[in-house]
Chains A and B, each alone.
Chain A
C-alpha cells in the first residue's frame, strides 16, 4: 500500500473535551507526528459540519488513514466509518482514539495530565493507523425465524407481532402453560380489566397463529451458532429438540420477592400483593382493616432499587378492596409514591378521595409489627400511629430469576448487579443487546407493568424484524486468521474458544485449526493462547498492537 497519509480530527465535544483538555495543543502535536499530513479541531466532529470536513480533507489532502480523537466507538464508530466509506476510503482505515471517557471525563480535575494522556493516546493511534489494512465486511444470511424465550405477556405479544408480519416464531415457556406473571394477576391497572380476559385473548391468538410454534414445559439448554443462524437446543420432557433461528428475543420476566422473616410474613394474614391478588381472584378475601407496607425488601441496602410496579399494584388492589367493601379501612405505608405519568397519578388522587389513608414513613424508622397491630411513625404528623389489621399486605419488589445468569451466559449477553438483563445502551438502545441479533423486553429488563411490557414487546419485535427483513446482515471482519504453515494442530484454541468458533479439521498434512467465520467474535483468546503464534487477529494484529505499545513508551 502507498505511504500512509494520516488525518487527525480532534473533537472538542462542546466542553466535554474542550473544557478540560487543551484541544488546540493536541492538533499542533498531531501535526508533528510521523505520517500525519493534516490535523484540525471540530466543535462536534459528529455533526454534519464535522463529517463534511472529514470528507473534504480526505479529498483535499489525499488522506488514506483517518483518526478521530473524540468519544466512544460504541456510539460513534459506525458513523465515522461510514463517513470514510462515503469519501471512498475503506472504513477499516479509520482509527478511533477516545479522549473523552479516557481523558476529559475521568481526569477532569487534572486538565494538564488529561492533555498529556490524550497526547499519548493520539501518538498510539497514529502508530497503529499507519499499519491498518483495508478489510471487507462479511455477509451472513439471516434465517427468517425468531426464538422467543418466555411465554408471558411480553413474549406472547412479541411473537404475535413478528408472526403477523410473516416470520416464523418459536415461543418457549418453561411453565406448563403460557401466561407468566399475568396468570396470577386479578385485574390490571388502571382500567381494572380482568387479567384473565387479556390472557385468554392473547393465548387464543397465539394458538390460532400458524406462524407460531409454542413449546411449553421447555427450557433452553444450549445456544450455539451466530447472528442470523443460531443453533438452539430446547429440552422438553427430557428430550432435546434442536432447531435454528435467525434472531432471539429474551422475554423471561421476573418474580415477586418473598419477604421471609420480614414484618411477620406468614402467607396467611401477612401476605404479599401477589398473594392478595390470588385471594381476590378466588373471591376468598374478606376483611375490614387492611394495612399495606411499601418497599418491603426494596430500596434497602440489599436491593437498593425501586421496583416501579409495586405502588401502582398496591393502589389498584386497595381500590378493589374499597369497592368491594365500602366500610373497609385501608392504610398504605409508603416512602415515595411512584405514580408517574398521567393515568397512575389520577388513580392515586381517586384513592385519596375514596378514603384510603397514606402514611409516609422514613427508612430510618420503618413500621413495626406486633401481633395484629402495626406501629408506624408518621413523618408528616410527627406522631406514632397504632394500626390494627386483619390483613397486612407487603409490597415486595420484582426480582430477577436466580437462573437468569445462566441464560445470559448461553446467549453471551450481560446482566446487571441485580440480575436483570443489561441492554446495549441505557439511553439509546433499550431493547437491543450489545450482541447483535439478540433483543430484550418486559420485566427481564426491568420491573414493568403489563402495559409497559406490551409496549416493549412491540418495540423488541420491531428491532428483531430489521435483520429478518433485510435477510442478510454484515458482520465485522475482525476475526481470527490461522496461518496453516505454523499451526501444529494442538487443539488448544478449540478448547478455549468461548464461541465454539474455531475447530480442528483433518487435512492431508495433518490436523489444523480453522475459524468459523460467522461465529468468531475476534475476542483474541485463541491468538493469545496459541503456542505457535499461528493465529492473528484481523484488524488487531500483533504488529499493530506492538506499534501502539512502543509509541506509548516513546518520549513525546
Chain B
C-alpha cells in the first residue's frame, strides 16, 4: 500500500493498515510527518493540546514495524492498475545522514544564514540547516539547498565543522525509489488561502492583521513568541481581538464553498485568548454560525458564557489601520446603526481551506480528476473512491473537514484499500 501525505489523515490510514498487517509506504513531502495538525495550538471542542495528542500517533507511525516512512519525498510517477501499481518516489537529499544525526541543533545555531521559517509561517527565522519543528519525526536536521551558502555559493561548511557526529554529507544525492503497491491512499491535505488578494482586509499591509493559522503559531508555546499572545507590530499583548469569518470562503470571487472548520476554530481561538489573558475580549464576525458537529453547539455556548466571546452576525466590509497601528474593523449589524467602526488590537482572518499546492500536478501523476475547486473528486455515496480504481482519497484533500472527520475518513479509506488486498488482486 502507498499513502501519500503524512498529516493526521495519512498517519491514521497508515496505522490502520499497518495494524491489519499490511505493509505500508508513507510518503511525505516535508522533512517530517505531522502535517497541519502539528501547527495547531489546541483543538476544538475539547481544547486538547494538538501536538500533545498528535505526537504519540506520530511516534507510533514512525516505529510501526509495517510502515516505511519516506519523508522529504515526492511521488513522481504512477503506472499500472488497481492491485499492481508501480510508483516512483523521489527522495530529496537532506545532506544529513539520518542515522547519525541526533538533532542536537549545534549546526543550526552556528549556521550564518537566516531565512523565514516555513513551519512558523515566516514569523521566525531559522538557519539553512534546521529542524522542521520541535517534535519532528524523523528527528533529524535538514539542509535547505536554496539557502545553504555552500550549496549555492560554495563557501561556509560551518555545520560540517561543528557537527560532532559527522552527520553532514554534502555528497548526498536525490535518489529515486521504485515501489510496487496494490492500492494508493491520497491524503495530501490543504493550504490556507492567501488573503492578500482580498485587499479590503489589509493583510500584509497592516502588521496586526494575521491569518488564523498564524494566530495558532502565535499562541502556541513552541511558536515564535513562546506562547505569549503578542501582536506583531509592537509585541504588546493583544487584548481586543476581532475574528473575521469566511475570508475567501462563501465568496463567489474566490472560493464559493464553506470551509467547514472556521466557525469552530475561531471559537476556540477566542477562548484561548481569554485563557492567555483574563482581560482579553474577542468578537467573532460571522455569516452563519456553523456548529453542527458533536459537542460544537455546547462549545460555542461555553465560549459565550464562560469566556465572554461576543458573536456578531455580519460580514466585515473592510479593515483599516489607525495611527497606533490598531486595526479598525468596519461592519454593519442587522438592524443596528448604519456602520460601526471597532478598534481592536489584533484582527484574525479565518481564511478558506484550499487544496495543497501541487494537488493538480499530483492529480496528473495519479491520473485522477479534481473537482471545480481543485479538490480530489469523489462521489457522496462512494466517498473514498477517486476517479481511478484502486486510488482512494481522504481528509482535506477531498473537501475541508475537521480532525475527527479526517480520522474517520482515513480509516474508511484504509478499509477500502484493504478490500483490494483481501480480494487477492495484490
Interface residues in chain A, defined as those with a beta carbon under 8 Å from any beta carbon in chain B: 12-16, 18-19, 43-44, 46-49, 51-52, 71, 75-76, 78-79, 108, 161, 164-166, 188-191, 193, 198, 299, 304-308, 336-346, 349, 360, 379-380, 382, 416, 420, 425-431, 445-446, 450-451, 454-463, 465-466, 469-470
Contacts and interface: CB of A to CB of B under 8 A. Distances in A.
B404 A341 contact: no
Contact of B418 (A165, A340, A416): A165
Contacts of B55: 44, 46-47
A16 B221 contact: yes
Nearest to A343: B380
Nearest to B18: A466
Interface in B132-170: 134-135, 137-139
Given A14-B227, A466-B20, A51 B59 contact: yes
Given A44-B55, A48-B62, A430 B404 contact: yes
A462 B418 contact: yes
Interface stretch (B114-122, B231-239, B292-300): B292-300
Interface in B312-351: 334-335
A47 B49 contact: no
B321 to A, nearest CB: 30
A71 to B, nearest CB: 6
Interface string B388-426: 000000000001110111011111111110110011000
Given A336-B288, A346-B257, A454-B381, A44 B51 contact: yes
Contact of A191 (B375, B381, B412): B381
A462 B297 contact: no
B415 to A, nearest CB: 4
A542 to B, nearest CB: 32
Contact of A188 (B46, B380, B401, B411): B380
Interface residues of B, number: 78
Contact of A337 (B137, B288, B412): B288
Contact of A190 (B256, B257, B380): B380
Given A44-B135, A76-B56, A164-B422, A451 B301 contact: no
Interface string B240-278: 000000000010000011101000000000000001000
Nearest to A469: B20
Contact of B275 (A44, A108, A304, A470): A108
A459 B17 CA distance: 12
21 contacts: A15-B226, A44-B55, A46-B56, A48-B59, A49-B103, A304-B298, A308-B292, A337-B288, A340-B290, A344-B258, A382-B334, A426-B45, A451-B383, A454-B382, A458-B384, A458-B415, A461-B415, A462-B411, A465-B20, A466-B16, A470-B20
A431 B182 CA distance: 26
Given A16-B49, A342-B258, 10 more contacts: A14-B227, A47-B134, A108-B275, A164-B422, A308-B293, A343-B399, A346-B256, A380-B335, A427-B53, A462-B411
A344 to B, nearest CB: 8
B19 interface: yes
Contact of B412 (A306, A349, A458): A458
